[in-house]
Chains A and B, each alone.
Chain A
């Protein structure tokens, strides 16, 4: 069966520090991968998605970047965190147009102080 791992679960980082969140998927190949952010009291905002190795699409201009070095690995990064980067970050995998739902990871709660 397919599983998705996301870590760490919580993170407190000072303003200006770098960030690296990792997500890996098991049990499937060539998945579409997604990074969403959920701010307090707000909906899920799509940040990046990838349909293959090295292919990244950015939905929102921001202080973040994403990379997909391997088929089942998706990394969210920042060189210098801002207070506004605080939120709940979720990785997900799915299939384009399949009509099947996304499978989400357990999320990372990031607090920038």
Chain B
């Protein structure tokens, strides 16, 4: 079955810098990968989806890439702000989604 792996260590960056989070998958190449944001005590919120045949997707300050050779997706937040501090989840699947454990991002002023 598909496994989604994310760096379990928190990522600490300064405000204004670009945050880059990594998502690796095993086994088959998924048709698409999804990224979610989760704040403490809340449900995840869908951010972006990138399809297998797309190299890059952008939405405002967010950018996602998909490298099927490396079996990896990168999630970038440019000009990061303290309000971007949250846990970011990567997910993949067809009829159901398998989620990674998420990476906590801490943006300090």
Contacts and interface: CB of A to CB of B under 8 A. Distances in A.
A44 interface: yes
A44 B51 contact: no
B96 A92 contact: no
A46 interface: yes
Interface string A30-74: 001010100000111010010100000001000000000000000
B34 A90 contact: no
A100 B49 contact: yes
B94 A97 contact: yes
Interface stretch (B19-27, B37-45, B77-85): B37-45
Given A43-B100, A99-B31, A92 B95 contact: no
Interface size class of A (residues with CB under 8 A): 20 to 34
11 contacts: A6-B43, A43-B100, A46-B97, A59-B96, A88-B41, A96-B94, A97-B31, A99-B32, A101-B49, A102-B44, A107-B43
B66 interface: no
Nearest to A91: B43
B89 A97 contact: no
Interface of A: 6, 32, 34, 36, 42-44, 46, 49, 51, 59, 88, 90, 92, 94, 96-97, 99-107, 109
Q: What band does the interface of chain B fall in when counting residues whose beta carbon is under 8 Å from A?
A: 20 to 34
Contacts of A59: 96
Contact of A92 (B43, B47, B89): B43
Contacts of A102: 44, 46, 97
B38 to A, nearest CB: 9
A107 B97 CA distance: 17
B104 to A, nearest CB: 11
A6 B43 CA distance: 11
